[in-house]
Structure 1
Amino acid sequence: MSMTVADVIALPEVARGEPTVLSDAGAGREVRWVHISDVADMSNLLEGGEIVLTTGDALRADPRPYLTTLASTGVLGVIAEFHRDWHVVPPRIGEFAASLGLTLVVLSREVRFVDITERVHRTLVAEQYEAIDFARRTHEVFTELTLGHADAAGITDAAAELLGTAVVLENLGHQAVASSGALASNVLRDWERRSRQEGGGASGEAWLPVWVGREDDRWARLIAVQPDDRDRTVMVLERAAQALEMARMAERDQLDLERQAQAGLIDDVLRERIRDEKEVAARAAALGVTPSAEYVPATLRVVDWPSESDPVSTQRRTAQLLDIVVSGVRAAGHTGLFSVRDFGEVRMVLSLKVNRGRSRRQMMDALAHALVRDIDRITGLGNVVVGLSASRAGVLSAIGGLAEAREVAQVAASMPPSGRIVFEVPDIRIRGLVALLRNDPRAGRFAEAELRELILHDIQTGTDHLDVLRAYLRLAGNKSALATHLHLSRPAVYSRLARIEEILGVDLSDGESMTSLHVALLILDAQSRATGTGR
């Protein structure tokens, strides 16, 4: 244990000298060492944090310079023995010592200074040895856990056991993902709200947090609740954080191998390098996919995926998205194959956990909402859609259905917000049909024939008749609504529409003409989205 100046004064070895405390300034400070000397100037002998034991010769001869020199070197206090000439203690010297921040004690009886130094040094050395031994045990515990591939719960348990207090591991969303130690269940009550409070911890609680992860990639916090020793707590939490980071890296390496294998299987099937259902099913099962009567092809797409010039940052963000999706699927009790098709897009072949009380669509809706919640909380990108294709009886055919699932997700991402997350072909209606047919050259020729003259006119004249036509068809031919949308008068709108009819040679009041033009525009827009170009 550490010792303060007051602790030293209270020792029996000091009490035998019948001490009188002339100044108790700084009596609560911790003592580093005890030094015996009657030398008047000890500035070259001391390092600070000491108590000086002296027979008082220097204090009698020139007390103020003597005490001033000691204070300047960082001495905490002076215990002086005046047992033979108690009457010569310098007057008002206690007040002067207090002004310097020094503790000053005089002894009226003779004592053995060596007894005092032995007692103090034995205590201090024992504390230092105990601290070294604790550091050794901490190192051994977390080294063993790291070599044993312990999980987050095991590492958190070890930290709590070493510290003798509750320790909580929370993610960036302030959710407690692991906890251990005395009264941990009470500590977790209303955890997320309390953790978000400024400084952490509610009123009366002392929390000591340590980040987990590199400074540019922090992913969790370890928090000790009501710690006894700050330095010891920080050491344990930092060592536990290192073990957690090592465990995460090892897990990520394993997951990287697993996901590379899953992506490789999907790619092998799509490139027709494997055509045998039994072989595909066996490889999928070996990669953790639960055998099922049906498999669901799905594509998750983040609509507002940010475009970044730094490829490393983009890759890291994409890997994070994949991590969130895989973790969310497994947390819901499902399994599957996963791969990244494009930035902000994850394709999946899912084996859903059987739930007789819920349909496939209900399970997918619940899963999608959970994934969106996690993606939004961790990345701040909550605009997400999930495209589904029809369930398949085998893994091979389910992988083949990923193209359709992707088409559905792409179309859904372009539709106006509706609150829906999961989309199937019937949900995207004509846009879904157009998306599926957009690469058919016949569809392209149809759109070209319908709109070519208007596109050329806009290019040559710099007008925007195509956009006017698009708005007119989207508003189902409502000219009043079109005038409001374009911020034009009705006569101006009528003139623009008449000019479009003249260029295209059609009657915009004719239902079949409107339908043909609308489908042509949808094809044009779908092709533009697919290529990333304008019209």
Structure 2
Amino acid sequence: MSEYVERSGTSEAGGPGGAPTGGVLTIADVLALPVLAAGRPEVVTGGAGLDRPVRWVHITELTDPASFLKGGELVLTTGMPLPQDTAGVRRYVDELADVGAAALVIELVRRYHRPPDALIQACRTRGLPLVTLAEDVNFLEVTQVVHTLILGNQTDAMRRTQRVHEAFTALTLRGSGPEEVVRAAAEMSGRTVVLENLVHQALICEPSGSTVDEALTGWEQRSRATPPGDHTQVSGPESWLVAPVAYQGERWGRVAMLPPPSGTPASAPAAFVPEDVTVLERTAMALTIARLIHATPWERTAHRSALRDLAEQRHHSPEDAHARLAALGLPTEGGLFLAVLADVRGKDDDSGPEARLSQELRTTGVPALVGTLAPGRLGVLLALRPSQPWRPVVERLSRVVLDLCPEAVVSVGPEVTLLSDAARSFRAAARVAEAALPGGPLPEGRTFHELSDIGLRHLLYALREDTRIQDYAERQLGRLIEHDARHGTDLLSTLRHYLDAAGNKTTTARLGALSRETVYQRLRTIERLLERDLESGEQRTELHVALTALDVLRLG
């Protein structure tokens, strides 16, 4: 079986004569055409170059055909003009190779019945694909079919290029952000597209045909091995297609289009085509414009997006989360992770505290992600060394927040050793924040809140919107409150003093500035109205919970 026959089975039919359409026409594609396949083509040399593009077909019976070529032509000949001597054959092949001919196709019907050894050796030396035809072929028909395909593909390519330009123009006109631009590039090309900054941090990754894990694992090292360029080009050991992204006339970063990962089905194109170059160039241009429109630094946007996905467990897998955060420069192995929340709802703009926290963390050298998780709520994920105490770090951050917003509440979740458990730390920190009493005193010796601070009052405050808590407080105390309102009494205060005094009537009298007899009388009235036994420790506890719930409900 010939080299070509083994390869040609993957060609897709679609154009005239069963040729593929919609892409660059290659030597393999041309050999698969029925008009050439009828000649029983066999690839004698250069089988590895069958993916070379064919720009045109040239029939020649001249001894110096190269003078009429411009490169990329499939040269068809009967072999009649080939020189007799070995030196002449080498010169003939050298001229074809020097001008960049795609391949030489020789018909073994009239002059030769097997290709000359000198021709085989010369083509092998120059890496020029040599194809023989065992049967007579109508060369004119070959040129008509191939040229029709080439011109048709060029028209299709122009249409596709026009659609790319129109799509990116629309994105720019509506002020699309970087995420939408990169997503559009991945969808148009069918390839993974990554935006990175100058320090090789992957800010946005839109995978296509792969996972975030496959695209970003070891990103910084792989990216540094891919040299930068001043224009769109294929670069580096992995053959990335890269284009620089500028901002205010200076290079800001670059956008990379990745080839399919190993193990991808063979139907996925490996080499980049001109349309990919167009897509990436327009992507870089749209990103440059988006950088001018959107004032928020993209690193901060990337941190926000990564934090939200982590806190809300929106990553497809733990491996994706590891790869994405590592590509942003956060250590993801061998340390401890801690979630910190700063509720700054009194601030009209969260960007000030967010930027200040980022600066503080850079100053201290603590690896972290900082971002707005929701309006009025900032999130911080600290990546600490196992032996590094976290309280001084959180205290420092908390003081920064309180200096900017004195009414802010800073809360912290528990330490976790796995990045996949960071969401649990964020949830715990959120529960602490929800339980912090507005205007309440700070914990002794620190300016932030943690789980151990949540007592009964804090718990009930966190649950204040639960109708069951509201119903419980009303059932326990409603009649007493109504009695006070109708009669102008203050039995509720007497009950509060009694419960605070743990049932000690003397202390109750002193707290309320009442006589003991008055206290006894009021307690009997309270028992009657509420149908409760105030000597019962359990019932006193129930009333104490109801009073505490009433207090936090009145806080709003």
**What's the TM-score once normalised by structure 1's chain length?**
0.45
Higher helix share: 1
TM-score w.r.t. structure 2 length?
A: 0.43
